[in-house]
Every structure is written in C-alpha cells, then in structure tokens.
Structure 1
Amino acid sequence: MNQPEREAAVRRMLERTPPVVPPGLYAEAVRRGGRMQRRRTAARRLLWCVLIAAAVAFVVWASLARPWVEPPSETTPPLTGW
C-alpha cells in the first residue's frame, strides 16, 4: 500500500460515522482507572516503606557490629609475666 492509498483509506475511515459506544463504557473505564491508580499508589508506598525499613535495619546493624573497626589481632599470644 503506497502513500496515496493509505491517505485514501484514512479519509474513508474518517468519513464514516463513528461506532456507537456502549453506555456503561465510560463509567467502567473511570472505575478501573481509579482502582489501578489506588493500587499503584499503595504499591509505591509499600516499596518506600520497605526501603526505609531496610535502611533503618542497616544503620542499626552497622552501629552494633561496627564493621569499619579493625578486629583485634589473634595471631600472637598475649604477653604475660614480664
């Protein structure tokens, strides 16, 4: 199909009367859209809560374990009896 044929096909489609939309379609679309938006908002809030909880858990673990401190050396025996 070349350019003029496509243009003619589009013109024919636009000249026809639009199909009849079912009466409850708009209300159903609004209802579903609202539900999807609420689910996305809830999922986003849940993910933020999980992220914050993970960050708090990491900070608590790091403050208790102190992984940045060098562990004491255990390769030499303690010096006693000097």
Structure 2
Amino acid sequence: MMLIDDWRVVLRRAWSVKFNVAATLFGAAEVAVAIWQPPGMPNGVFAGGAAAVSIFANVSRIMAQKELNGTDK
C-alpha cells in the first residue's frame, strides 16, 4: 500500500474524511447507548445517523472539492 504524495492535505481537507469521522462518532455513540441504555433514548437513533453520514461520505468522495484541487490523484 502506498499513500498519495499529499496525504496530509487530503486528510485535513477532504469532506469524505470528515464525514467518515462523524460516522465513526455516531457509531460509537450507538454502542454507548446500547451499553448504558439511557431512559427515553430510542434504539437505532445514532446508527441511523451513522448510516446517513456514511452515505454523504461516499458521495463526497467522488465530488470535486476546491480545497483539494489537484491533490487527490
């Protein structure tokens, strides 16, 4: 596996990376809710959020982003 030359720029600026981090946080929140089971918190709320954000991550991966002009090869 080889990284692209400007991987640090892509990691900081790419929307797909930001959305994937958000999906990870939603997934972790869903696990926490399942463990602690707070009253009034319906099951699957954060899992649904993680799914939605993951869709945005996949779509943003193929979109042109001004912040990454010429960086993602």
Give the structure-2-normalised TM-score. 0.36
Q: Larger relative contact order (C-alpha < 8 A, sep ≥ 6)?
A: 2
Give the structure-1-normalised TM-score. 0.32
